[in-house]
Amino acid sequence: MSRLRFMNKHHYETLERIDELIKNAYVVTPNVDHLIQLELGGELCEAYKQADLILTDGKPLIWISEWYGTPINEKISGSNLFPKLCNLVAKNGYSVFFLEATDVVAEKVAENMTKRYQGMQVVGTYSTPCGFEKNDEEMKKIIAMVKEVQPHILIDALGCPKQELFILHHREELGVPLSLSLGASVDFEAGNIKRAPRWMANHCLEWLYRITQDPKRLAKRYLLDNMKIIRLAIKYKPSKNNRGVQHKLILMAFDSFREDGLYAA
């Protein structure tokens, strides 16, 4: 895939940048699982290539950036960004549409966030049925719902890669000024999934807590699949031998740690 440039700023600067991007922009929050999927190629790579802002959702990515000698300032996970974004929405009078993959979660998160952030405008919610992406009528229905209410911001929480591919294929048609793929962040705020205790998150053990919440789905991902990140980090680490031919390589996201750029171009 083409190189990705992770934004290298703090939370408050990220919110300022998001505010500036409310025109026709797309924000993604890649974690280790996403990077492993990106290494396989396909349309997900194109979705990331078209993103206007790429945040760093995962301590391992911070550690890799430090190992590469170009440290990223701060982990900015979707789950930490989302409440701050809702506060920005309420403060600036923006409107939001929630698109989710779990039954009634979209409605619940809208209810919770409008109570917490007075003045937040939620103009629509929808929880998609299983297999929606293969159903043309369902896709037309979703697009029509979003276009009818014309939100300033679309919170797309369909899970990777469905959420990224939905925006890739329908961004222009939707005409939403700002779309964000936030995955499980919406489930956390809806109360559908519990977040790890603060001490676990502070000690990089959030992954372990998440396994206890859904071991059937997440044990393999965290204990086996995500270990591939070590091999990929080694594979793309710059060296004297490969520096001269980097322009000839198909570079994945790790190349971004060697760049001064702040976000995807």
Q: Where are the domains of the chain?
A: 11-193
Structure confidence at residue 6 (pLDDT): 61
Tell me which residues of the chain have a pLDDT lower than 50: 1-2, 243-265
Is the pTM higher than 0.85? The answer reads no
pLDDT score at 9: 60
Instruction: Yes or no: say if 42 and 250 are a contact pair by the CB < 8 Å rule.
Output: no
Question: What residue type is 245 in one-letter code?
Answer: V
User: What pLDDT, on the 0 to 100 scale, is given for residue 255?
Assistant: 46
CATH topology of domain 11-193: Rossmann fold (3.40.50)
Shortest CA distance to 94 belongs to which of 20, 181, 159? 20
Cα(243)–Cα(247) distance, rounded to whole angstroms? 9
Alpha-carbon distance 13 to 9, whole Å? 6
Q: What is the pLDDT at residue 69? A: 86
Q: What is the pLDDT of residue 110?
A: 95
Q: Residue type at 10?
A: H
% pLDDT > 70, the chain: 86
CA gap 53, 14 in Å, rounded: 9
Question: Which pLDDT score is estimated for 237?
Answer: 86
Q: Residue 53: phi, psi to the nearest 5? A: -145, 125
- How many CB atoms sit inside 10 A of residue 55's CB? 29
